Amino acid sequence: MKAVTAEHLVKTYDKGKVRALDNLSLDVEEGTVLGVLGPNGAGKTTTVRILATLLRPDSGAATVAGIDVIKHPDKVREVIGLSGQYAAVDEILTGYDNLVMFGKLYHLGNKNAVLRANELLERFSLTDAAKRPIKTYSGGMRRRLDLAASLIVRPKVLFLDEPTTGLDPRGRLDMWGVIRELVSDGTTLLLTTQYLEEADQLADEIAVIDTGKVIARGTSNDLKRQIGGEHLEVAVNQVDVARSMEIIEKIIGSKPKLEEGLNSISAPVSTGTSALIEVINGLTSAGINPLDVALKRPSLDDVFLALTGHKAEGE
Amino acid sequence: MSAIRDTAVITQRQLRLLTRVPEVLIFSTIQPVMFVLLFRYVFGGSINTGQPGGYVQLLMPGIFVQTVAFTLAGTASGLAEDMKKGLIDRFRSLPISQSALVVGRTLGDALLNVVVLTVMGLAGFLVGWRPSTGGAKIALGFIFLLFFGYALSWVGALVGLSAKDFRVVQNVSFLVTFPLTFLSNAFAPTTGMPKLLQYFAEWNPVSTMVAACRELFGVQNVFGATAGSYPSQHPLITSIFYIFLIMLVFVPLALRKYRKSAG
């Protein structure tokens, strides 16, 4: 069953001059994670806002948990959780106060609102900071609290709009851990991101969007096949180039490319780091010391270059 | 029923904010008290009212009305801030009454006015303000003030929800409230104004409110009307009419704006 459907959504701003969504369609299978990948201004946030009943599309239709978003927004609000790009919690109130307030607004009753607040604070490792105002929190802690606020009544469908934008690497990893845990509970998740790696890590399926349209759709492996996936890059001394090419070809099973001036050999790999280790072992046992080795993952720019012929254009 | 509960939660939130940031409460009371002292001692000496008890008797109703008129700015900036931080998005994605956030905010601001008016009343008393009517009329005067502030709070709600920028909100709020409070009979007689402004001042809701309060607090409105216009003759009725009119126009407009607020 589909937990989310969107059909031919169109949304324009400034009296039709800006086409934020241009016939966008997508769907999410129940219990799975869809990563909506795209650059700034591609229409990710607009899509989420329409599905979360915050915005009405100019035309098109959408359902969440089988409920029509446009006809019954109040019913949709009962089954969704939303965590936006900015941590939408009250800065002056404490983490605890915020969660209790939202619990009451979900009509949990005072006692249950308190219980649920403590449970969520514990789960998101915020118990120590519970009684501090949000403005003293780090970026990562704010996002976790914001996420907690969207989980007060276990939502059937969760929307996360760029949950890690602006976080440092450590905060990002923490957030990924939290999201993975959620997903293992069976929550349906629609996640938007600018990072291919994030979509790769968290999503079962990825929809790439550009200028308000879905331009590619598939599993992360499907996409990588389209765009070439990971590349191994090895730089060696001039004298070792020919032999290195042979060794790498033998290990990878396909002919590597050589960038002449740089003595840099590159080859597509599918097994990631283990291919890297095999190649290093192969080269060193032949007495060749590589000058530089790297495993290059495709970036959002590579995806866009491969899919659209142009780079991802930010705003 | 749940709409009332939701609204109460929002109002509670605002009261909690006051306990977390006591400066807000302190500054919302210090400013009007400062006005009381400034006007009382700067103008009080030079304006001869020919009334028993002197200028302060006329001044206090004026300052009360001015203070509750500034609720407009308070509600506006509070909602603008919630918009900016994305809090409104979160509230709007919750299965709660769609008016709870705005209604709760305006009620919270009204409660803040109760505190502010109490402190101002005491400050006024200390510098010689003595309402000469009975308790019932005085109470009625304060209830009037609260309702007037509440009505203007909804104008502020529309301003706060419409503006994209926090500073714009503050500027717009002041552009609305300053002319309204000064082109009135609140602090000085309107008779000295150019004719056109006199008409404005007489029909100005701030003037009718001030006149109504002066009546209820038992002081003759010598700053008021010269032209004998309807509002200056019947300030109480006119003020009630204005309060209803403002609510009738701005409550639906603000709620509509809230439901459509796309951020």
Nearest to A149 among B85, B90, B96 (CB): B90
CA nearest neighbour of B68 among B9, B14, B109: B109
Q: Does A91 touch chain B (CB under 8 A)?
A: yes
pLDDT at A219: 87
Q: Does B215 touch chain A (CB under 8 A)?
A: no
User: What is the C-alpha separation between B180 and B201, in angstroms, rounded?
Assistant: 8
Q: Is the complex ipTM higher than 0.95?
A: no
User: What is the C-alpha separation between B212 and B210, in angstroms, rounded?
Assistant: 5
Q: What is the distance between the terminal CA atoms of chain B, rounded to a whole angstrom?
A: 29
pLDDT at B263: 43
* pLDDT one digit per residue (tens) for chain B, 263 residues: 788 989 999 999 988 888 888 888 888 889 889 988 888 888 777 777 777 778 888 899 999 999 999 999 999 999 998 888 788 888 888 888 888 999 999 999 999 999 999 999 999 999 889 988 888 999 999 999 999 999 999 999 999 999 878 788 888 888 888 888 888 888 888 888 888 888 888 889 999 999 999 999 988 887 776 667 788 888 999 999 999 999 999 999 999 999 876 54
Contact B13 A54 (CB under 8 A): no
**Which chain B residues are Cβ-neighbours of A101 within 8 angstroms?**
9, 12-13
Beta carbons within 10 angstroms of residue A229's beta carbon: 18
pLDDT at A81: 92
Mean pLDDT by 10 residues, chain A (315 residues): 93 86 93 91 91 92 94 92 81 92 91 95 92 90 90 91 87 88 88 88 92 89 74 85 86 82 81 82 88 79 71 53
Taking CA–CA distances from A74, the nearest residue in chain B reads: B95
Read off the amino acid at residue A33.
V
Inter-chain CB pairs, A–B, below 8 Å? 70
User: What is the C-alpha separation between B71 and B155, in angstroms, rounded?
Assistant: 9
What distance separates the 2 farthest-apart alpha carbons in chain A? Answer: 76
Q: For residues A311 and A301, is the Cβ–Cβ distance under 8 A?
A: yes
Nearest to A105 among B20, B86, B96 (CB): B96
Residue A268 phi/psi, 5-degree rounding, is -70, 140
Contact B93 A54 (CB under 8 A): yes
Helix, strand, coil shares of chain A, percent, nearest 5, are 40, 25, 35
Taking CA–CA distances from A55, the nearest residue in chain B reads: B262
- The residue among A13, A50, A67, A90 with the most chain B CBs within 10 A of its CB, best to mutate, is A90
Q: Does A97 touch chain B (CB under 8 A)?
A: yes
Taking the CA of residue A253 and the nearest CA in chain B, the distance in Å comes to 52
* CA triple B3-B8-B10, angle to 5 deg: 100
Nearest to B95 among A54, A74, A150 (CB): A74
Contact B262 A49 (CB under 8 A): yes
Contact B93 A80 (CB under 8 A): yes
pLDDT at A228: 67
Those of residues 11-30 in B touching chain A at CB distance below 8 A are: 12-13, 16-17, 20-21
Helix or strand run (H / E) with residue B239: helix B235-260
Taking CA–CA distances from B101, the nearest residue in chain A reads: A105
Task: Return the sign of the alpha-carbon dihedral for residues A60, A5, A221, A140.
Answer: positive
pLDDT at A300: 65
Which residue has 């995806």 as its token pair?
A303
Q: Does A112 touch chain B (CB under 8 A)?
A: no
Contact A92 B87 (CB under 8 A): no
Taking the CA of residue B123 and the nearest CA in chain A, the distance in Å comes to 30
Contact A49 B89 (CB under 8 A): yes
User: What is the C-alpha separation between A308 and A303, in angstroms, rounded?
Assistant: 8
Taking the CA of residue B20 and the nearest CA in chain A, the distance in Å comes to 7
Task: Give the alpha-carbon dihedral of B203, B204, B206, B212, to 10 degrees.
Answer: 0
Give A36-63 as a DSSP string: EE--TTSSHHHHHHHHTTSS--SEEEEE
Buried b (16+ CB within 10 A) or exposed e, A241-279: beebbebbeebbeeebeeeeeebbbbbebeeeeebbebb
CA nearest neighbour of A4 among A200, A148, A158: A158
Taking the CA of residue A308 and the nearest CA in chain B, the distance in Å comes to 30
Read off the amino acid at residue A169.
P
What secondary structure letter does DSSP report for A147?
H
In total, chain B counts a number of residues equal to: 263
- Cα→Cα distances A239→A255, A256, A259, B94, B125, Å: 19, 17, 14, 67, 98
CA nearest neighbour of A34 among A229, A149, A189: A189
Three-class SS state of A215: strand
**Which chain B residues are Cβ-neighbours of A96 within 8 angstroms?**
none
Beta bridge partner(s), residue A234: A265, A293
Helix or strand run (H / E) with residue A192: strand A188-193
Those of residues 29-68 in B touching chain A at CB distance below 8 A are: none
CA nearest neighbour of B152 among B181, B124, B123: B181
Q: For residues A227 and A36, is the Cβ–Cβ distance under 8 A?
A: no
Nearest to A105 among B6, B21, B263 (CB): B6
Taking CA–CA distances from A78, the nearest residue in chain B reads: B95
DSSP H stretches of helix in A106-168: 110-123, 139-149
- The residue among B18, B85, B89, B98 with the most chain A CBs within 10 A of its CB, best to mutate, is B89
